[in-house]
Amino acid sequence: MMRRDRILLAVTLTAVFSADLYFILLPKMRSKGLTSGHSCSCGPNKLTLPPSQGGLATPQLSNWTSAPLLDGTTSEPAYGGSKLVRLFSHPLYNIQTPALGPEERLLQVEQLIDYYRRKVSHWERHMKLYSLAAALANITVTNHEVTYDPDTSWLKFHLGINRYALYSRDDPTVLQLIKDMQSMTVISAGEGQMGFGASMVKPSGHHLKLALKMRNLAKAMFKPMRQQRDEETPEDVFYFVDLQRHNAEIAAFHLDRILDFRRVPPVVGRLVNITSEVLKVTQNEDLRAVFFTSPANNTCFFAKCLYVCKTEYAACGSPDLLEGSLSAYLPGLSIAPRISIPSPWIRSYTFTGREEWEVNPFYCDTIKQQYPYNSGNRLLNIIDMSIFDFLIGNMDRHHYEIFTKFGDEGFLLHLDNARGFGKHAKDEMSILSPLSQCCMIKQSTLLRLQLLAQSEFRLSDVMRESLQEDSLRPILTEPHLLALDRRLHKVLRVVHQCVRRLGKDEVITEDFFKSTVTPEAATDGTMQR
C-alpha cells in the first residue's frame, strides 16, 4: 500500500509538472517565438489582410491596412489597443480559403437574382390585392414600397455562403447586413416561408418569435426580450423549457465569429416598435389577434394559442418599443435545401430518461464506426459544436443542420442559440461529452482556443469588445463574460487529459486547407514545441 501511494504521488507530481509545462511554459515560449517572427512558417504570402471595411464591429480595422502584419508583429503586446483587432489580425485568423469553384458556393448569382426578382414582383402583386381586401375589411395596413436592389446586403450574404463557412472574414457584406437588419424599415411581420423551418408565429409560449421582412425583402427572425440581463435560469428548470434569451442569440453570433467558425447567421439587437413595425404592417390575421394592451397600457403580444391563451407568456413593449434579437434568414429551403439531423449526443427530453451516451463511457467508439461519423470531418464538426455549446452553456442542441449541397463534408450550422447564457456559475461538463468521450479535436480549433486563453487575446476581453458594438449593449453581464474564460480553460484541460492518455497524434487532427497552409507548417509553428 505504501509503495502504491508513493507511485501515485510521483504520477500526480509528474502530471502537475506536465500540465505546467504544456499550458504555461510552452505557450510563453511560443509567444516569444511568434513575436520574433520565427515560428510562423506559413509565411506572409499565405496570409490575406482584412479589407478596409474590416470585420464586424471593428471599424478600426481600416487603420491597419497600411500597416501590414505580415511579419507577425500582431502579437506584440500592444496592450493599449484593441484586442479584437489584434486577434483578427493574427495569422491564425488570416488563413486564405482556396478559390471557390461553383460547386463550393451554395448559390449561383443568376439563380438567386432570378429568385429575388420573382419575390419582388410577387410582393407587388400581392400588396395590390391585399390593400383592396384590407380596405374592404376595414383594416389599416401600412403599405411600404419594395425596392429591387441587386447590391442589397442579404443577397450578397446568401451568395457568399460556401462549403467552408456562412461568410468570409474579409466580407464587408456581413457588416452591411447587420446595419440593414438594425435599421431598415420593416414592411411585414409574421410571414416566414424562408429559413428556420416553415412555421409562422411559433406557437409555443417559449418561442415567441416573429419573422420580419425588410424593405429590401431581407428577412430576419425576431426574438423578443423575455428576461433581464441579470436574471438567471432557476436551478430547477429543465433545459428544454428554459426561456429563450435574445441576448444569448446575439452573443452566440459574436462568439462564433471570434472562434472563427462562422457557422451562425448574423444576429443584431434592435429596439422594435411592435405597434408600427409589427402590428401595423402584418397581413397575418392570427398575429394581429394576439396583440393586446396591458393593464400598464403597454402594447403586448402573446404566443398563438393552441389550448389556452396565457398572457403571462406575453412580450410587452414600453409602451411600444421592445428589444430583441434579429437573426438573418438563410436562403429559402426551395433554393438551398438543408437537412436536419439528430445529434448523436441528443438528450432525452424527459424528466427521467437517460440516453446511451450518458451511461456508456465507450459510446464514441460506436459512433465512430457509424456513417456519417466514420469518415471525414463530421465528428470533428460535432466536437467543434459541443465546444461552442459548452462555452455558451447551451444544453438544447438536439439537432444540427447542414446544407444538402455540400454533402457529408458540409459544415454544421449553429442555429438557435437563445438557450445559452442562462447560468453564469454553472459549467455543464456533459455538453463537452463529444470531446471528452471521443478525445478528438481539430488542430485549427485547438490553436484558436489556446490563443484565446492567452491574456493578450483573452476570450472575455475580445467578447466584451465585440459585443460593445451592438446597440443593445451591454449584451452579457460581467459574470457571463468571465465564465467564458473559465470554461475555455476547462475545454483545454479536457484536451490535455486526452493528449496525456492517447498521445497528441491520436487527439489532434490536422485540418488546415491543403492549398494554402501545409499542416506541417501550421503544426510546426504552434503545436510541436
Q: Please state, in angstroms and rounded to a whole number, the distance separating the CA atoms of residues 315 and 326.
A: 16
Give min distance, CB of 204 to a second copy, in A.
Answer: 8
Q: Which is nearer to a second copy, 13 or 241 (CB)?
A: 241
C-beta of residue 417 within 8 angstroms of C-beta of residue 264? yes
DSSP H or E segment with residue 213: strand 210-214
Q: Was 328 annotated as part of a binding site?
A: yes
Report which secondary-structure segment, H or E, holds 162.
Answer: none
What is the smallest separation between the CB atom of 275 and a second copy, expressed in angstroms? 15
User: Least CB distance from residue 234 to a second copy, whole Å?
Assistant: 8
Rounded Cα distance between 520 and 40, Å, is 11
Compute CA distances 357 → 44, 241, 255, 345, 347, whole Å.
44, 22, 27, 6, 9
What is the 3-state composition of the chain as percent helix, strand, coil, each rounded to the nearest 5? 45, 10, 45
Query: Any known ligand binding at 145?
Result: no
For a second copy, give the closer residue by CB, 314 or 495: 314
The reply to whether 401 sits in an annotated binding site is yes
Cβ-based nearer residue to a second copy, 294 or 374:
294
Question: Could you say which of 180, 384, 396, 461 is catalytic?
Answer: 396
- Omega into 337 within 30° of 0, i.e. cis? no
Q: Shortest approach of a second copy to residue 355 CB, angstroms? A: 15
To the question of whether residue 223 is assigned a binding role by annotation, the answer is yes
In the bound complex, what is the minimum distance in angstroms from residue 290's beta carbon to a second copy? 10
Q: Which residue has the cell 510541436?
A: 528
DSSP structure class, residue 185: P
Q: Which is nearer to a second copy, 426 or 500 (CB)?
A: 426
Q: Is the Cβ–Cβ distance between 158 and 107 less than 8 Å? A: yes
- Three-state helix/strand/coil letters over 431-496: HHHHHHHHCCEEHHHHHHHHHHCCCCCCHHHHHHHHHCCCCCCCCCCHHHHHHHHHHHHHHHHHHH
Of 448, 60, 53, 72, nearest in space to 260 by CA: 448
Q: Is 78 annotated as a binding residue?
A: no
CA atoms within 13 A on the CB side of 175: 17
Would you say 196 and 244 are in contact if contact means Cβ atoms under 8 Å apart? no
Q: What CA–CA distance (Å, rounded) separates 269 from 246?
A: 8
Residue located via cell numbers 488563413: 95
52 vs 59: CA distance, rounded Å: 9
Q: Give min distance, CB of 235 to a second copy, in A.
A: 4
Beta carbon nearer to a second copy, 103 or 235 = 235
Could you tell me the smallest distance in angstroms from the CB atom of residue 314 to a second copy? Answer: 7
The residues of the shown chain that bind a second copy, judged by CB under 8 A, are 205-206, 235-239, 241, 292-296, 298, 300, 306-308, 310-312, 314, 316, 351-352
User: Is 416 assigned to a binding site?
Assistant: yes
Closer by beta carbon to a second copy, 156 or else 304: 304
Closest CB to a second copy among residues 22, 313: 313
Count of beta carbons in the 10 Å neighbourhood of residue 140: 9
Determine whether 71 is an active site residue: no
Shortest Å distance, C-beta 414 to a second copy: 23
Residue 183 or 293: which CB sits closer to a second copy? 293
What b/e string do you get for 450-479 counting C-beta neighbours within 10 Å, with b at 16 or more?
Answer: bbbbeebbbbbbbbbbbbebbebeebbbee
Contact between 382 and 343 under an 8 Å Cβ cutoff? The reply is yes
- Tell me whether residue 252 is annotated as binding: no
Binding site, residues? 223, 327-330, 401, 416
As annotated, the binding site for Mn(2+) includes 416
Give the catalytic positions in this structure: 396
Binding-site positions for ATP: 223, 327-330, 401, 416
